[in-house]
């Protein structure tokens, strides 16, 4: 592959690449809300068309939820399977957005140009770095240097309900030597990174019910149990004062981080002060005796993601509601078993529930944590490619979030995954005003070209 020519091609066509990304960003592909089902479909259709245009043999694959986009440049077993997701998080609270979340704009900021839109970083902008890399290689070389499959799903933000059956049902077609995923971040704006571990996740939705109907708090208050008070007690009881999660056997399977990895992380010169300041905070919280990087990369958590009940609109209503609700998620590490923890969590709440209360649990998916060896050829070649592009030594980092696909690739397709991404800490993923740096987008595509060149040589 003539690397210089391909990179030059990317530089010259940057404007068109941005235009294409803008088109994708305009689809309101919010998978968590059924009312955007059509928008998800349109985003998938657009991607399918793109891939066909580039020369892939691509098609939409129907699922029980949003469709998959599956493409190949060759009929045979692929060398690399690239995965991304075209669905995005909801935009609420919408009032905090300074621009329309689905009308992408390029803004000049003190840290350079950024693309502002929901999904700019997670994951539309990131997946397009790979698509643009392929486009440029094809334009210059006429063909790709290896056999590549691409899989785009539209349910990543809702725990991928269709993914496992899809992988199971298309094992042969999806087979590959290695998977590539672009859904992670850089260590800092100058330092490219490969993510070598990911936390797992378990999420639960609970509803508790006490009195058989909403009650007037004047006529009944003081003599009946209030579900909001009970829920607050249940949730307050999920943590101990030292920050530990207060569920029996929760820490079973949690391993001590290796001193090797801890040393590497120390070298990153992470500034807790800066990290907190950027969030409007000054005090470290969470488990005592652990550094912030350990808390984020190698310790499990329990977080309340939603809590509601009673009258929550403008004004006041003196009601004792009959029900209260919460959405709760856990980040898992090491060998923690999501299903065991789910059981312990439910048992605990059932035991703490006062008389006359019912509790119902809604299943959301669980996934274990993942760890990769950092010593493989693939890892070291990818690291070199990133180092070349960014002119700064690439680093191995841990990932706080979950990318369940990685686990599924290993378990169903027997494939390990290279996690490379160009998102930055201030990209406001899952928050209002999400953005993706133009530099991430452009140098991301260039990085993939370099990675593909190096990895092809290993074949």
Residues 340-379 contacting its own copies, CB under 8 A? 354-356, 364
Tokens of 205: 């939705």
Phi/psi class of residue 98: alpha, beta or left (left: φ > 0; alpha: ψ in -120 to 50)? alpha
Q: Does 108 sit near its own copies (CB under 8 A)?
A: no
Residue among 240 and 458 whose Cβ is closer to its own copies: 240
Residue among 139 and 307 whose Cβ is closer to its own copies: 307
Which of 29, 66, 193, 402 forms a contact with its own copies (CB under 8 A)? Answer: 402
Tokens of 223: 């003599």
Which of 231, 341, 449, 455 forms a contact with its own copies (CB under 8 A)? Answer: 231
Contacts (CB under 8 A) with its own copies, residues 403-432: 428-432
Which of 95, 267, 280, 391 forms a contact with its own copies (CB under 8 A)? Answer: 280
Q: Does 19 sit near its own copies (CB under 8 A)?
A: no
CB 326 within 8 A of CB 206: yes
Residue among 33 and 416 whose Cβ is closer to its own copies: 33
Minimum separation from the CB atom of position 240 to its own copies (A): 12
Q: Does 118 sit near its own copies (CB under 8 A)?
A: no
Residue 277, SS3?
helix
Which of 154, 210, 338, 404 forms a contact with its own copies (CB under 8 A)? Answer: 210
Residue among 34 and 142 whose Cβ is closer to its own copies: 34
Which of 219, 240, 458, 459 forms a contact with its own copies (CB under 8 A)? Answer: 219
Task: Please compute Rg for the chain using Cα positions.
Answer: 23
Q: Does 94 sit near its own copies (CB under 8 A)?
A: no
Phi/psi class of residue 161: alpha, beta or left (left: φ > 0; alpha: ψ in -120 to 50)? alpha
**Of 16-24, 110-118, 212-220, 371-379, which segment contacts its own copies by CB under 8 A?**
212-220
Distance CA 80, CA 367 (A): 23
Q: Does 213 sit near its own copies (CB under 8 A)?
A: yes
Minimum separation from the CB atom of position 115 to its own copies (A): 18
Which of 4, 172, 223, 242 forms a contact with its own copies (CB under 8 A)? Answer: 223
Describe the crossing of helices 37-54 and 14-25 by its angle, rounded to 10 degrees. Answer: 150
Q: What separation in angstroms does the CA of 294 have from each of 329, 333, 371, 398?
A: 19, 11, 14, 9
Binding residue count for its own copies, defined by CB under 8 A? 98
**Helix (H) / strand (E) containing 288:** none
Q: Does 262 sit near its own copies (CB under 8 A)?
A: no
Residue among 199 and 450 whose Cβ is closer to its own copies: 199
Tokens of 148: 């590549």
Which residues make Cβ contacts (< 8 Å) with residue 171, sequence separation at least 6?
Answer: 412, 413
Quote the strand ranges of 102-192, DSSP E. Answer: 105-109, 112-116, 148-153, 176-181
Contacts (CB under 8 A) with its own copies, residues 150-169: 157-159
Minimum separation from the CB atom of position 61 to its own copies (A): 22
Q: Is the peptide bond before 93 cis (omega within 30 degrees of 0)?
A: yes
Q: Does 99 sit near its own copies (CB under 8 A)?
A: no
CB 86 within 8 A of CB 153: yes
Q: Does 458 sit near its own copies (CB under 8 A)?
A: no
Q: Does 195 sit near its own copies (CB under 8 A)?
A: no
Tokens of 162: 């269709």
Contacts (CB under 8 A) with its own copies, residues 284-323: 284-287, 292, 295-296, 299-301, 303-321
Distance CA 65, CA 62 (A): 8
């Amino acid at each position: 592959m003539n690397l210089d020519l391909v990179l030059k091609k990317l530089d010259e066509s940057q404007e068109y690449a941005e235009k294409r990304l803008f088109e994708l960003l305009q689809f309101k592909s919010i998978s968590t809300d059924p009312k955007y089902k059509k928008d998800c479909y349109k985003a998938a259709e657009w991607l399918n068309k793109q891939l066909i245009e580039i020369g892939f043999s691509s098609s939409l694959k129907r699922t029980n939820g949003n469709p998959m986009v599956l493409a190949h440049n060759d009929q045979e077993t692929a060398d690399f399977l690239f995965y991304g997701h075209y669905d995005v998080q909801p935009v609420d609270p919408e009032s905090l957005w300074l621009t329309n979340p689905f009308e992408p704009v390029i803004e000049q900021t003190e840290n350079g140009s950024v693309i502002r839109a929901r999904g700019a970083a997670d994951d539309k902008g990131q997946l397009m770095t790979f698509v643009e890399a392929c486009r440029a290689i094809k334009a210059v070389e006429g063909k790709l240097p290896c056999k590549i499959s691409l899989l785009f799903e539209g349910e990543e933000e809702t725990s991928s309900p269709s993914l496992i059956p899809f992988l199971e049902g298309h094992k042969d077609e999806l087979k590959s030597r290695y998977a590539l995923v672009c859904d992670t971040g850089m260590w800092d704006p100058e330092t490219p990174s490969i993510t070598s571990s990911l936390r797992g996740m378990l999420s639960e939705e609970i509803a508790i019910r006490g009195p058989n109907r909403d009650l007037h708090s004047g006529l009944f208050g003081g003599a009946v149990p209030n579900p909001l008070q009970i829920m607050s007690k249940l949730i307050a009881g999920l943590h101990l004062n030292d920050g530990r999660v207060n569920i029996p056997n929760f820490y079973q399977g949690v391993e001590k981080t290796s001193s090797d990895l801890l040393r590497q992380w120390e070298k990153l010169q992470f500034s807790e002060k800066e990290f907190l300041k950027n969030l409007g905070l000054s005090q470290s919280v969470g488990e005592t005796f652990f550094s912030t990087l350990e808390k984020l990369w190698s310790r499990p958590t329990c977080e309340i993601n939603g809590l509601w009940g009673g009258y929550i609109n403008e004004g006041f209503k003196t009601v004792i509601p009959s029900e209260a609700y919460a959405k709760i998620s856990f980040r898992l590490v090491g060998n923690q078993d999501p299903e065991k923890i789910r059981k312990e969590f439910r048992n605990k709440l059932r035991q703490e529930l006062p008389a006359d209360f019912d509790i119902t649990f809604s299943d959301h998916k669980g996934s274990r944590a993942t760890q990769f060896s950092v010593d493989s050829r693939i890892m070291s070649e990818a690291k070199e490619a990133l180092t070349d592009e960014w002119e700064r030594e690439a680093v191995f980092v841990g990932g706080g979030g979950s990318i369940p696909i990685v686990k599924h690739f290993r378990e169903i397709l027997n494939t390990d995954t290279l996690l490379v991404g160009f998102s930055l800490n201030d990209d406001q993923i899952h928050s209002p005003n999400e953005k993706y740096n133009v530099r991430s987008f452009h140098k991301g595509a260039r990085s993939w070209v370099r990675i593909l060149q190096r990895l092809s040589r290993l074949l």
